[in-house]
């Protein structure tokens, strides 16, 4: 005897065996019990969720009193009163005419004659039009059941003549429990995590899940998670958590190493990107309301606690930013035709986005630029306002004399020789970084993570915490230094040279000075790193 695949062997024979579609089966059973069955039905939904099966069961239950409709004949095509038609291959107007003409004949068993048209949306417009009149007023012994995965392609004139039932995707837990029951019946040894992987890969379809289990069971006595991941090309959830943990911890080196390990294991970069988007979607749900939305998370229960802990380390705003970056990286993949590059760029961008939100709350240096530390006497150089243009006297006339009481503006040469004042730089630092952002957004954003800490002649030193090493290295590029120096020189009115350093390499001032300034001006520290 030939082998019968699990999807056919365990195909439901009645409404009670159909799982996950109680809203449909309950309504159909009630209609049959009340003898209020419509003459036409439209079953829509994803593949493998029970549309055609419920159509056959419905026909069987209605004709149950007929002797020829008992047993398995109606499921094997042996019942002459249940006619199944493939709409994809019988979609012409001539096929519709054949249905219309054969519908005039009575059923063989004296009950109802059923026409089950699968993938009905594939019928041509002419075929739909040929069925309109028959569908609206069919013979009393005829009933139509249409099944489709795309109800929007079915004309409104057809849908309005049918009772429409939508079949939903089966929840992951429902598929997993059904697979577990069938595995026990078949005496198959299946790991719990393997059941979860199969259910997740089925994407809500029971037929797909049974097909995967059938394929894995043929390879050996025990179905393992490694075998399921290898067959389906899936990525172990553990690796997804490890990569997400590296991103949350802003550990770029570990994140790139995880990507390398996953790709070397033969996994697809596009699949990894999709899984990461799905993972951060789960984090978003757990951040919004872990109690009410945990049923929407397609992870086993033993992973949900770990997911909740990971979500607690991020704000909802940052989670959404990361999701945007991961989703938009598909455009990079399309333009470069390099999935690995798009994935690595996306991971690097997510780490940069998370850096400001994860900056330490305690100051890395006791002395920080605050308003209270400014001197009472204004700085000797007036460089905030732009330099005025010197008026030109008409030809042949001497230039007007400048009154002695008017302040003279230093010439460019005179200003360039003046020494920078650190206090003044701190006062206009926000203006300086904003000007850089207007020219190059990312350079200005990087500068916001630093602060001016020292002046040596005309050299301004901007320091960064150790965790912003990447920012420092980007700003040290020759083109970046040239642009920033020009902008700073225009604002300060004198030539400025730049030097970048990490905070640990800068001598720290005594904290008593800061406290003395705060006491003297009754001030408070409002911003540690000028991130306004």
Nearest 5°: phi and psi at 314? -125, 150
All residues at 6 or more sequence positions from 345 whose CB lies less than 8 Å from its CB, including other chains = 329, 332
**Helix, strand, coil in percent for the chain, rounding step 5:** 55, 10, 35
Residue of 303 and 39 predicted with greater confidence: 39
237-357 folds as Zinc Finger, Delta Prime; domain 3 (1.20.272)
CATH code for the domain defined by 172-232: 1.10.8.60
The CATH code belonging to domain 364-378+414-532 is 3.30.300.180
Domain definitions of the chain by residue range: 6-166, 172-232, 237-357, 364-378+414-532
Lowest-pLDDT range of 23-37, 319-333, 357-371, 486-500: 357-371
Q: Quick check: 279 and 240 in contact, CB under 8 A?
A: yes
Give the tens place of pLDDT for each residue, 26-66.
Answer: 999 999 988 899 999 999 999 999 999 999 999 988 887 55
Highest mean pLDDT (candidates 191-195, 219-223, 300-304, 507-511):
191-195
CB atoms within 10 A of CB 134: 20
At 339-366, the pLDDT tens digits run 999 999 999 999 998 886 444 444 444 4
**Element holding 143 (H helix, E strand):** strand 142-148
Residues 246-290: tens digit of each pLDDT: 999 999 999 999 999 998 888 889 999 999 999 999 999 988 988
Burial of 411 (0-12, 13-18, 19+ CB in 10 A): exposed
pTM: 0.60
In the predicted structure, residue 432 carries a pLDDT above the cut 60: yes
pLDDT in tens, 457-468: 888 889 888 888
Neighbours of 33 (CB within 10 A): 10
**Percentage of residues in the chain having pLDDT higher than 90:** 36
**CA 277 to each of CA 185, 270, 315, 323, 330: distance values in angstroms, whole numbers, following the listed order:** 37, 11, 16, 6, 11
Category of 300 on φ-ψ map: left (φ > 0), alpha (ψ -120 to 50) or beta: beta
Question: What superfamily would CATH give domain 6-166?
Answer: P-loop containing nucleotide triphosphate hydrolases (3.40.50.300)
Do the domains spanning 172-232 and 237-357 agree at the CATH topology level? no
Provide the pLDDT for residue 35.
87
User: What pLDDT shows up at residue 280?
Assistant: 93
Share of the chain above pLDDT 70, in %: 79
């Amino acid at each position: 005897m030939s082998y019968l695949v699990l999807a056919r062997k365990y195909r439901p024979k009645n409404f009670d065996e159909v799982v996950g579609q109680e809203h449909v089966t309950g309504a159909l059973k009630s209609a049959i019990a009340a003898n209020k069955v419509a003459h036409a039905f439209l079953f829509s939904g994803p593949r493998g969720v029970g549309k055609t099966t419920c159509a056959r069961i419905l026909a069987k239950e209605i004709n149950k009193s007929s002797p020829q409709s008992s047993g398995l004949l109606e499921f094997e095509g042996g019942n002459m009163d249940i006619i199944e038609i493939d709409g994809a291959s019988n979609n012409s107007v001539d096929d519709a005419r054949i249905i219309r003409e054969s519908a005039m004949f009575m059923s063989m068993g004296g009950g109802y004659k059923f026409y089950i048209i699968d993938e009905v949306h594939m019928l041509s417009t002419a075929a739909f039009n040929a069925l309109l009149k028959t569908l609206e007023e069919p013979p009393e012994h005829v009933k139509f059941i249409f099944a489709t995965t795309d109800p929007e392609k079915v004309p409104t004139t057809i849908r309005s003549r049918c009772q429409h039932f939508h079949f939903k995707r089966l929840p992951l837990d429902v598929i997993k429990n059904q697979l577990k029951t069938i595995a026990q019946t078949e005496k198959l040894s299946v790991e719990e995590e393997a059941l979860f992987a199969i259910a997740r890969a089925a994407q809500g379809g029971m037929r797909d899940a049974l097909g995967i289990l059938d394929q894995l069971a043929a390879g050996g006595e025990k179905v393992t998670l490694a075998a399921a991941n290898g067959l389906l090309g899936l990525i172990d959830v553990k690796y997804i958590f490890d990569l997400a943990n590296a991103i949350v911890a802003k550990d770029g080196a570990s994140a790139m190493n995880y990507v390398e390990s996953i790709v070397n294991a033969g996994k697809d970069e596009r699949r990894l990107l999709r899984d990461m988007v799905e993972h951060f979607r789960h984090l978003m749900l757990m951040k919004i309301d872990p109690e009410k939305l945990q049923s929407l998370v397609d992870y086993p229960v033993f992973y949900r606690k770990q997911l909740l802990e990971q979500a607690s380390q991020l704000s909802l705003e940052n989670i959404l930013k990361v999701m945007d970056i991961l989703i938009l990286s598909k455009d990079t993949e399309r333009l470069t035709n390099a999935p690995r590059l798009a994935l690595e760029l996306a991971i690097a961008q997510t780490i940069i986005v998370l850096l400001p939100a994860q900056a330490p709350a305690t100051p890395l240096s006791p002395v920080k630029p605050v308003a209270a530390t400014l001197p009472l006497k204004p700085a000797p150089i007036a460089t905030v306002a732009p330099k005025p243009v010197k008026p030109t006297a008409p030809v042949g006339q001497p230039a007007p004399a400048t009154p002695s009481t008017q302040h003279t503006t230093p010439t460019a040469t005179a200003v360039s020789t003046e020494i920078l004042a650190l206090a003044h730089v701190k006062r206009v630092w926000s203006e300086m970084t904003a000007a850089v952002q207007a020219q190059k957004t990312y350079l200005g954003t990087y500068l916001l993570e630093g602060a001016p800490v020292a002046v040596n002649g005309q050299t301004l030193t901007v320091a960064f915490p150790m965790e912003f090493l990447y920012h420092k290295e980007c700003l040290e590029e020759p083109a970046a230094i040239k642009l920033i120096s020009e902008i700073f020189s225009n604002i300060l009115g004198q030539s400025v040279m730049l030097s970048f350093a990490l905070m640990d390499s800068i001598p720290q001032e005594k904290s008593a000075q800061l406290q003395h300034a705060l006491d003297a001006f009754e001030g408070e520290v409002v911003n540690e790193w000028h991130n306004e």
